[in-house]
Structure 1
Amino acid sequence: MSQIPVKDVTPEKEVVSLYAEREHIYVKFYRGIFKNLRIISSALMLVAFYGASWLQYDGRQAIHFDLPGRQFHIFGQTFWPQDFMLLSWLLIILAFTLFFVTVFAGRLWCGYACPQFVWTWFFMWAERIAEGDRNARMKRDKQPMSAEKFMRKAAKHTIWIIIAVTTSVAFMGYFTPIRELIPNILVLDLGPWESWWLAFFAVATYGNAGWLREQVCIYMCPYARFQSVMFDQDTLIISYDEKRGESRGSRKRDADYKAEGLGDCIDCGHCVQVCPVGIDIRDGLQYECVACGACVDACDDIMERMGYEKGLVRYTTEHELEGRKTHLIRPRLVGYLVALLAMVSAFSYVLLTRTPLEVDTIRGRGELYTTASNGDIRNTYSVKIANKSQQDMTYTISFEGLEYAELVGATEVRVEAGELYDHTIFIQVDPRALERPNYEIEFEVTAVNDESISATSESRFIGPTP
């Protein structure tokens, strides 16, 4: 009886390093419709970022985050720490917006609107201006240092530093009024904290957009890690049409490549050379892909030159690649949309009905009550009035809940814009009018020139037992 042959199939041991050395990415210059769209979206973001701090509204900076004063001023609206709930709502709304966009259109946010990538493209543009296109940079980096190489490197880093510093100044201009900040910088009249944050944001911008670049997107950004769980087979992605493109191979423009068993992909590598994160889209969907469309533009350009149909690499869905119908309306997308609309509606209602006035009343804690010289029972109250508007206001103070009682003290007060005013006032009543020792009362503070601006605060009046 012959023996069954035995074969050792134990896999060979392979040492895998947890640290992958970074390979420098030389991005090739290209043109295309998606690049133009990205230029437009990036330009709008840059103009908004650099220009919004210069806008004036009602005689003051339109957007000013006054951290020392604990106030945010946004187009005539002043937000205080008590309005922190609105900020929480806004962050939740932005998160659900990102979820909705991701389920529907993949990582379009990353490729067209993420600040990290907008500034990275900005820095890469400066790099190309100073050092030339991809091949020139690669060739020059392999050469020893020369006068030309030094001058080009110096020019690049000078432009980077200028962009980083202007970015830092523009960002700080939202916290220190920009019209005060720039003159103070020019005469070197800055406080230690302003100097620190200006330097920090300049270095952070220079490092993130100039040096780290795609490393932030691949390793540091949490969105890159969890966005894939929100994808489904109907989510818009960038993909290579493997059925149409394989087998790959070079050929002449007019050659009958199909007779040679080749697909439409000529294996030119342009889709890899233009990718800002250095991936090969032909390897399939990868979490590093930021959906910027660079590979789509590059491939379409090659297809046009070869006389082939465009779209070998394109924005598509998994269902479309499989020849199935793409479903625009699906449960998870509808769920995100409904939740988003509900939150936006509630947030808008609260914001539009928000009163630029807040009142809090603290009853005097020294004694339950005092007796006036005429025998009346008196309670002391501290009425705290927060004027959240950007104008000085005059308010009247009234109360209800205790008959035959009167306010003693100034019932009309003037509060400056953004001020928290503490006003002491008394309620006094004849003891014979008291039917019980404890009454719920309500103070009302109303603007003199606009009765729609009004706020109330509850308190108690305490007297002797009848």
Structure 2
Amino acid sequence: MNEQIPVKNVTPVKVHKPSSGDGGKRHDSRSRIYVRAVQGPLETFRRFFGLIFLALFAVIPWIQYNGKQAVLLDIVEQRFTIFGLTLWPQDLTLLAYIFIVSAFALFFVTTFAGRVWCGFMCPQTTWVYIYTWFEEKIEGPRNKRIKLDARPMDADKFIRKTLKHTAWVAVALLTALTFVGYFTPIGALFINFFTFSTSSWAAFSVLFFAVCTYANAGYMREIMCTHICPYARFQSAMFDKDTFTVSYDAHRGEQRGPRPRKLSHEQVQEKGLGDCIDCNLCVQVCPTGIDIRNGLQYECINCGACIDACNGVMDKMGYPKGLISFTSEERLSGGTTHIIRPKLIGYFIVLLIMVGLLIADIVTRIPLAVDIIRDRNALYRETNDGLIENVYTIKVLNKSQTTQTYTISVEGLPEYRFYGEQEVTVKGGEVFSTPISVATDPYNLEDVVTEIMFTVQTTTIDGDVVTVNEPTKFIYR
């Protein structure tokens, strides 16, 4: 009982958290996070990466394939067209595989490199940076924006605010039109929207997503990352001591504090100071307003802005870079990072398996679906010449992108007569429905219910024979 609990002196860290502001307003000049612009390799890479995904998002719905919009997710028609592939509700397993592959790819990347999806690829982050760019160009850098928001409304402030919000609204509207263009023909959507002749649902969708984009990227910003997005909450389940995250090297940085630039690195260390000069630039450039020196926090989106800011300061001070870097907890504690480890291998194996199943499902997918619906008004009827007749409705779904001709036949019924079209032509991605009837002599029927098979067959442009057999019943009495 005489043993004392060891006490460690910890340097207090100023936490950069938004205050409640007067009246509890979240976005007044005292509570907003004013993100400072930063330059560096990671910032350049993030902008380049973001522009690639932004360009893909904007261009893909305009691409034409076989005279049609290449990517069209038509919810009304329950038909998803992705270049030469058409997905229907019957292809739900294929969509499930796509979502599962995406999920395990995210798990794998998170286990290896932390929350880099949020920092480099998330649409929320990309659009926030777009809105911040307009904000900086119109209202000025961080310090000027703070002063602009703090002063009373005047002509200059009114003009700048009007220009900024006009640009935000324009970006939001273009974003919404492009997004809705994935679900309805985009060319007609743009023309009809600006000529006020679009449908009410399309107009509502565009305005709804425009408001969401404007609110999320213009006002909510870090709130989406820290409070609304579920990824911030469950990402810790994938982290381990070998996960690469944006981290501050406390052993090298402490004891922090200001110092003259003329002092050499060795002289600073002799005074008991670490490399951190407590300039707070790492806090000012953080889009979620955290202080990375407090350690790993769920709000961190691994964008690396603080790395670029800190490396710039280290260059000016003549210190080695890497005080803040992408590193692992294991390395910071003096150990060696283990890149290949059981958790990462497990995610990779599952990812490969799911990708294999997805590819197999696509390769073995039959570009034809047949549905047989019996006539509900009568189980059977007797024709004038004494035959027993059953009436059906056959639906032929052409899942390919080319027009196909199909032949229809019946198996399992002796000496039958077929009434209706036995050869039908169906355009790519469409459904053909036609009533048909089958009749036979009752003396040929041994049971009340006879199992029969409708066979639909076609030959593709590649010469492959596609056959689908759909079972049904022929009823008598």
Whether the TM-score (by the shorter chain) exceeds 0.5 is yes
Matched, 1:355 2:341: no
Structure 1 residue 55, shift from structure 2 partner: 0.6
Alignment of 1:11-30 (within 5 A): 22=26, 23-30=31-38
Instruction: State how far apart, in whole Å, the 1-side matches of 2:374 and 2:34 are.
Output: 69
Output the amino acid matched with 2:404.
M
Instruction: State how far apart, in whole Å, the 2-side matches of 1:448 and 1:225 are.
Output: 52
Name the structure 2 match of 1:288. 299
Instruction: State how far apart, in whole Å, the 2-side matches of 1:59 and 1:185 are.
Output: 23
Deviates more, 1:90-99 or 1:398-407: 398-407
Structure 1 residue 366, shift from structure 2 partner: 4.5
1:370-407 Cα offsets, whole Å, 9 max, x none, are: 44444444333322212233343321002323344453
Structure 1 residue 330, shift from structure 2 partner: 1.9
Instruction: State how far apart, in whole Å, the 1-side matches of 2:211 and 2:448 are.
Output: 66
Per the alignment, in what secondary structure is the counterpart of residue 256 of structure 2? coil
Matched, 1:95 2:106: no
Deviates more, 1:168-177 or 1:268-277: 168-177
What is the aligned-residue RMSD (CA, Å)?
2.0
Name the structure 1 match of 2:60. 52
Alignment of 1:126-275 (within 5 A): 126-255=134-263, 256-275=267-286
Distance 1:445 1:109, change over 3 A: same
Structure 1 residue 237, shift from structure 2 partner: 0.7
Match of 1:114 among 118, 122, 129: 122
Per the alignment, in what secondary structure is the counterpart of residue 218 of structure 2? helix
CA contact (8 A) 1:396 1:448 kept: no
Instruction: State how far apart, in whole Å, the 2-side matches of 1:75 and 1:51 are.
Output: 14
1:163-216 Cα offsets, whole Å, 9 max, x none, are: 111111111211221111111123221222222121111111111001110011
Instruction: State how far apart, in whole Å, the 1-side matches of 2:78 and 2:398 are.
Output: 13
Instruction: State how far apart, in whole Å, the 2-side matches of 1:125 and 1:410 are.
Output: 63
Name the structure 2 match of 1:456. 469
Distance 1:449 1:353, change over 3 A: closer
Structure 1 residue 368, shift from structure 2 partner: 4.5
Percent of aligned positions with the same letter in both sequences?
A: 48
Instruction: State how far apart, in whole Å, the 2-side matches of 1:125 and 1:74 are.
Output: 33
Output the TM-score relative to the length of structure 2.
Answer: 0.88
Output the TM-score relative to the length of structure 1.
Answer: 0.90
1:209-257 Cα offsets, whole Å, 9 max, x none, are: 0111001111111111111121111111111000011100111223110
1:393-439 Cα offsets, whole Å, 9 max, x none, are: 32100232334445343211223444332222233334444444443
Instruction: State how far apart, in whole Å, the 2-side matches of 1:178 and 1:97 are.
Output: 30
Output the amino acid matched with 1:315.
F
Per the alignment, in what secondary structure is the counterpart of residue 275 of structure 1? coil
Deviates more, 1:220-229 or 1:190-199: 190-199
Name the structure 1 match of 2:15. none
CA contact (8 A) 2:459 2:465 kept: no
Alignment of 1:267-416 (within 5 A): 267-416=278-427
Instruction: State how far apart, in whole Å, the 2-side matches of 1:197 and 1:432 are.
Output: 61
Deviates more, 1:325-334 or 1:397-406: 397-406
Per the alignment, in what secondary structure is the counterpart of residue 401 of structure 2? coil
Structure 1 residue 460, shift from structure 2 partner: 2.3
Instruction: State how far apart, in whole Å, the 2-side matches of 1:218 and 1:377 are.
Output: 70
Output the amino acid matched with 1:103.
T
Name the structure 2 match of 1:422. 433
Output the amino acid matched with 1:208.
N
Deviates more, 1:276-285 or 1:335-344: 335-344
Instruction: State how far apart, in whole Å, the 1-side matches of 2:192 and 2:395 are.
Output: 36
Structure 1 residue 310, shift from structure 2 partner: 0.7
Deviates more, 1:422-431 or 1:334-343: 422-431
CA contact (8 A) 2:404 2:425 kept: yes
Output the amino acid matched with 2:372.
T
CA contact (8 A) 1:105 1:235 kept: yes
Aligned residues: 446
User: 5+ residue gaps in structure 2?
Assistant: 1-18
Instruction: State how far apart, in whole Å, the 1-side matches of 2:441 and 2:155 are.
Output: 95
